[in-house]
Amino acid sequence: MMPLTIRIGKMRTKTMSKGNIKVAGLVLGMVFLTACSGKSGQKVSTAEEISITTAEESGDYSEGVKLAKEKVEEKDGEVNIISTSPAVTEICEKLNLSLVGVAESSLYEIPEVYEDVTTVGTSMSPDMEIIGSLNPDWILSPLSLQSDLEPKYEELDTDWAFVNVNSLQGMYTSILELGYIFDREKEAEALVKDYEDFLESYQAKNDDEESPKVLILMGLPGSYVIATPESYVGNLVEIAGGENVYEGEEDAFISVNTEDMKTKEPDVILLAAHALPDEVSEMFEEEFATNDIWQHFEAVQNNQVYELTYDYFGMSANFEYQNALEELQGYLYSNEE
């Protein structure tokens, strides 16, 4: 595992005084893994897969993170923080951070501690007028929406950070960095310890097993795409020891025809839903019943096609990962016992 790093999207500095330093544009949780999954049926070291490198181990936090912490410490009074996604809000709750604004969603319940907090629109389309009226010191948003949201944030007199919730490793690296910035290091380190302890025990169960080849279909009502290891569900499959048949792709989701999928001959096919899980389930049922090519897949012939629980396998990393990985255990190694 290489040390964690923070990529600075932008930094503006004024020379009048430390209090006027502008941080703007932190990207949190950028991790570089030496190994993520088994190759050719071989498992990689558990320690390489799960360890999150802390500042104490790597030498120090980046200058961007230290500058952000400095600004927070110089703030006279409570720091006004807005979270623009349910996944980031959940992290804030675990870190015991106070928020002045949270994202609304029809799919997720706002944590009880934030029930009376002002809502600022959806993750995909936050209401910038409401956000501006709350006078935020910091806006926390998911990294996946950086290109859409950063130009809007540049119009505000505030700082912001994009949190990596594309993977578990990214989420927990972000947790450590947020804990450092907002004086929640004790909470962050406890969360990371729980994560590492669980994964060490979980992955030890499969150390001697061969990695099954896995095809992940991410469904939308009426269509589907392939989920690669760059997606969160793909990340979970790798952590569970599966070998994604479309590893090596740069994008989280790709479009591929079924003929190409057949050439990969996966051992297991997993069905996930981007949204509207009931409709997606019906769509997959019809697809496998009416498209004859699926009957030629060994995974279908061997009854190794599984629908993933929607609440566990979202688009962003979250704290349901233990339930998700336990579910994958039964699917990926159902023939190994």
Structure-block tokens of residue 201? 């025990």
Q: How many CB atoms lie within 10 A of CB 84?
A: 27
Instruction: Let me know: does 161 contact 143? Beta carbons within 8 Å.
Output: no
Whether pLDDT at 259 is above 70: yes
Residue 113: which of 94, 131, 130 has the closest Cα? 94
Sorted by where each begins, the domain ranges of the chain are 5-203, 209-332
Instruction: Tell me what pLDDT residue 30 has.
Output: 59
Return the ∠ at Cα 279 (arms to 87 and 149), rounded to 5°. 35
Is the model more confident about 334 or about 74? 74
DSSP alpha helix (H) spans, 246-314: 258-264, 277-290, 298-301
Q: How many CB atoms lie within 10 A of CB 323?
A: 13
Domain 5-203 and domain 209-332, same fold? Reply is yes
Instruction: Tell me what pLDDT residue 334 has.
Output: 74
Summarised one tens digit per residue, pLDDT across range 102-129 is 999 888 899 999 999 999 999 999 999 9
**pTM of the entire predicted model:** 0.85
Instruction: Tell me what pLDDT residue 62 has.
Output: 83
Residue owning tokens 């007028």: 129
Looking at CATH, the fold of the domain delimited by 209-332 is given as: Rossmann fold (3.40.50)
Q: Which residues touch 225 (CB under 8 Å, ≥6 apart)?
A: 217, 218, 253, 254, 255
Instruction: Let me know: does 142 contact 62? Beta carbons within 8 Å.
Output: no
Mean pLDDT confidence for 55-72: 78
Summarised one tens digit per residue, pLDDT across range 268-311 is 999 999 999 999 999 999 999 999 999 999 999 999 999 999 99
Whether pLDDT at 50 is above 70: no
Please report, in angstroms and rounded to a whole number, the separation of the first and last CA atoms in the chain.
31
Instruction: Tell me what pLDDT residue 312 has.
Output: 97
Summarised one tens digit per residue, pLDDT across range 10-27 is 333 332 333 344 555 678
The CATH code for residues 5-203 is 3.40.50.1980
Instruction: Tell me what pLDDT residue 26 has.
Output: 76
CA-to-CA distance for 76 and 229, rounded, in angstroms? 43
